[in-house]
Amino acid sequence: MSIFLRVLTGFFISSSQFGTNFRSLSSGTIRTREPVPNHFLRLVYIGEFLVAIMATLDLWSQVGGQGHLDLMPWYLKLALTCCLALVVVMGTVAAVSHPDAWNAKTIAFVILGLLIVSAMAAATYYYHVHENDEENDDETKPGVAGLLRPGVSGRAASGRPASGRGPSRGLYS
């Protein structure tokens, strides 16, 4: 297994950095691993950032609706998506860098992520409510209100349709 990991990570980590470290205590010798080098973690965090961007946009379009996302300006989607992806990566960094995964920094990044998700929901709701404000509907014209009385067929006494002119135009005629 150790040889497989050395071959797999040989491009990123030199063989002197990957291995075991021996330290002696009063109870005996304990075999410990060296921490993963920073340049390998940077590549992992970049990959996580890119995956977080794709996952955020996909989930946002599924939950909020693609039509509402199409109405939003590009800079709003870019800012909220990149902020959420950055908070996800920073939460991962905080969890990995401390002995306890759930520490104060990790919880702060979770709360910050929830605030960004709330801002995304508020923007989606705003564009849901105002989606018809930006459209110019020339096809729909305002309807004409009229009074219909039961028993009146809408024809004049002569049998022709009423033209709306002359003395029979009144309300009770």
User: pLDDT tens digits, residue range 42-70?
Assistant: 899 999 999 999 999 999 999 988 888 88
Domain ranges of the chain: 37-129
81-115 pLDDT per residue, tens: 999 999 999 999 999 988 888 999 999 999 999 99
Cβ contact 114:122 at 8 Å? no
DSSP 144: P
